[in-house]
Structures are given as structure tokens and as C-alpha cells.
Structure 1
Amino acid sequence: MDMISAPGQVDASRTLLLVDDDDTLRERLARALAKRGYAVTTAGSVAAGIAAARTNPPRFAVCDLRLADGNGLDVVAAIRETNPDARIVMLTGYGNIATAVAAVKAGAVDYMAKPADADDIDAALQADGDEKPEPPERPMSADRVRWEHINRIYELCERNVSETARRLNMHRRTLQRILAKHSPR
């Protein structure tokens, strides 16, 4: 667990627990949220997230749904036990209606697809009560969402083109052409 905050700009009511097993995303998001005045504690697993929630109950939390050692909903439950008023945002690269409903029932106030923008996360965390955060000004295009999904599966398959193509039910050469292109806007 690491603690990141912007010096002199944080008060105790802005503690945030960030749980994600993607090291790069976690560190980048932690820095961005610290710049917005949060005292950010990071964790890279369900076990570390639960331990951090019990040690220092956060006012806010951002938690990935799928973690290497389990389900992020377990972290949400631990946060709810220690601080029932915490505002929690779930992040996922595997969004569907069933997981969104489960996250909200567990106590999350919002459910966002990765990669989520720090401004959108901050707006969701700061929304009052039942107030719905504004939809993003520039949502990802369908092509970008597809590209992100393909690359996520590619990474999960340890950059194995054949296995990725099989899982996506896609021809191998088509997948290679998609992977060779830059991300769409």
C-alpha cells in the first residue's frame, strides 16, 4: 500500500482508497486524484484493499471489479463495514448489466468502464446523494471501445495473437491488422 497526496492541499475528509491490479493505471490515477486534493492510498489486490479499508476507513474509494486475487465487490463490502457513508466508484474493463447491478447493490455509487478519466471519477465521487453525474462530454466512440476490448483481451492472453483471435472468434490476420493500427479516437 502506498500513500500519495499533494502537500498542503488535503484534509481528512478527502481520504481515498484506490484498488486496481494494473500498476500503471493505478499509479497514474493516484497521481491525478492526488492533484485534485485527495489523500490517496493505493492497493493492488483484494487482500491489500480490504486490509487498507480496515486500517484506515476511506471517505471515498475507486475499485476495479476484477482483480488478480478475486472480486472487487469484496473490497466494497469491507469499505461499507468500516464506513457506511463512503462514496465508491467501481471501474471495470468487463462492463455488463449484471455486474453493474451487483456493484450498485454492494454499495457503489457509480460504475465506469476503463479507461476512466480522473475528472469523470472525481465528478462521480463528489456528486451529492442521489444526484447523477453528468455524462462525459466526449464519450469514447464505438471503434475506440472495440479497440480497447481487443487490446485488453490481447494483454490477458499474454500477447498471444492466436489465443486472442480464438477467444474473440476473429480471424488471426484480421486481429493482427487491428493490433498494428493506432487507437481510434
Structure 2
Amino acid sequence: MLEHTMTLPDMPLPVGDPSLLLIDDDKPFLQRMSRALDQRGFRVSTAESIASGLSALEDHAPAHAVVDMRLSDGNGLDVVAALQRKRPDARVIVLTGYGNIATAVTAVKLGAIDYLAKPADADDVTAALLRCSGIKVELPDNPMSADRVRWEHIQRVYELCDRNVSETARRLSMHRRTLQRILAKRAPR
């Protein structure tokens, strides 16, 4: 049983092992999210890189993890895969500021239970970590626009072509320079 005096309204507490590893290279975000998740009943440990995250897994494989996709020393999916090998029942959330469908699919295949775009707040993360499997996810208030769906499709093909711009452009019947301009822009809303 958890021994926390502070509970937040309408937020369930983690049941069983409340250990959580939070990995992000954005130090202010890491500190804010760590405090917020601690207040929600998790026992939080933090890491700012893949190397320190993998090292933390060697000491103790947590029941929960929140991992940033792009870290200064590599891809956060490496930590997801390592955690799933060490503790298959771990509930992992992947956070990213560069969301696309291809990486979300890869994250889920590696064992992540959800994939959240930044800026995600602690309530979103907690809800995703504690959501029981089998619960139907509600339709978002603002679903992806047609421009975003197109961008996601281009990103998926780009990933499937091993990030080869020329091959992606050929498969999409698109001029290579046009594709490069699209890839250089941020994702539409």
C-alpha cells in the first residue's frame, strides 16, 4: 500500500509497485514531471540520457517508465526494448515532440502502452500509465487535420525507406525537393 498524504482529485493511485523511471534530456521538464508524478503516488527515479537510463535499469527494472523519444545520445526506444526484456509487465509511455505514426507503431511493437506528443502534462501521463487494457479510448476533441494525416503518411513512408529522401520521393511520386521542404517543416496541427 502506498503511504502518500497528498492525493489529487479524480486521479487513481498506482496499484502494486509504484516505481517509475522518467527519462528526458530537458532538465526543467524532467524536474517538473518528476515532482508531479511523485505527487500522484509514483516512486520516481530520473535519467537524462539513454546511457544513464540503461544503467538505472540494471539496478532496478521499474514497473512504469516514461521515456522521451529523442535524447541527446540516441533513441529512447532502445530503453523501451531493454526494459521490456528485463521486465515484460512494465507499463511504458513514450513522449515526443516529433510525433509520427511510424515511430508510434514501432514504440507499441517494442512494448510501449501509449505514445504521447509533447507537451503532455502529468495528468495525461498518469491516465495513460494507469489505464486498464481493454478500456475504449475516447475520440479526441480535435482529431488530426487532413494536412496532418498527409504529413504522417509521408513520415511513415520516409521511415520505411530508411530515411532515404530519393527513394521516398520516388515511392510517393513526388519531386525530391518538394519532399525535402515538407520534411524540414514541423508537423501541421
Tell me the TM-score normalized by structure 2. Answer: 0.66
1:120 to 124, 129, 138: 124
1:8 to 3, 10, 14: 3
1:80 aligns with 2:84: yes
Paired residue type of 2:3: G
Deviation at 1:129, TM superposition (A): 2.2
Q: Distance in 1 between matches of 2:63 and 2:82?
A: 13
Deviation at 1:117, TM superposition (A): 1.2
- Assess, with a 3 A threshold, how the Cα gap between structure 1 residues 32 and 134 changes in structure 2: closer, same or farther: farther
2:107 aligns to what?
103
Deviation at 1:54, TM superposition (A): 1.9
2:172 aligns to what?
none
1:54, 1:78 within 8 Å by CA — same for their partners in 2? no
1:159 aligns to what?
none
State, as a whole percentage, how many aligned pairs show the same letter: 51
- Assess, with a 3 A threshold, how the Cα gap between structure 1 residues 78 and 132 changes in structure 2: closer, same or farther: farther
3-state DSSP of counterpart to 1:57: coil
2:61 aligns to what?
57
- Assess, with a 3 A threshold, how the Cα gap between structure 1 residues 135 and 46 changes in structure 2: closer, same or farther: farther
1:94 aligns to what?
98
2:151 aligns to what?
none
Q: Distance in 2 between matches of 1:141 and 1:98?
A: 15
1:22, 1:44 within 8 Å by CA — same for their partners in 2? yes
1:54, 1:79 within 8 Å by CA — same for their partners in 2? no
Cα deviation code 1:97-125 (max 9, x no counterpart): 11111110111000000010111110110
Deviant stretches of 4+, over 4 Å: 132-137, 139-142
Q: Distance in 2 between matches of 1:21 and 1:101?
A: 23
Deviation at 1:132, TM superposition (A): 4.5
1:180 aligns to what?
none
Tell me the TM-score normalized by structure 1. Answer: 0.68
> Any unmatched runs of 5+ in structure 1?
1-6, 143-166, 170-185
1:91, 1:111 within 8 Å by CA — same for their partners in 2? yes
Deviation at 1:88, TM superposition (A): 0.3
Structural RMSD (CA): 2.6
Paired residue type of 1:44: E
Alignment of 1:143-182 (within 5 A): 168=185
Q: Distance in 1 between matches of 2:99 and 2:121?
A: 16
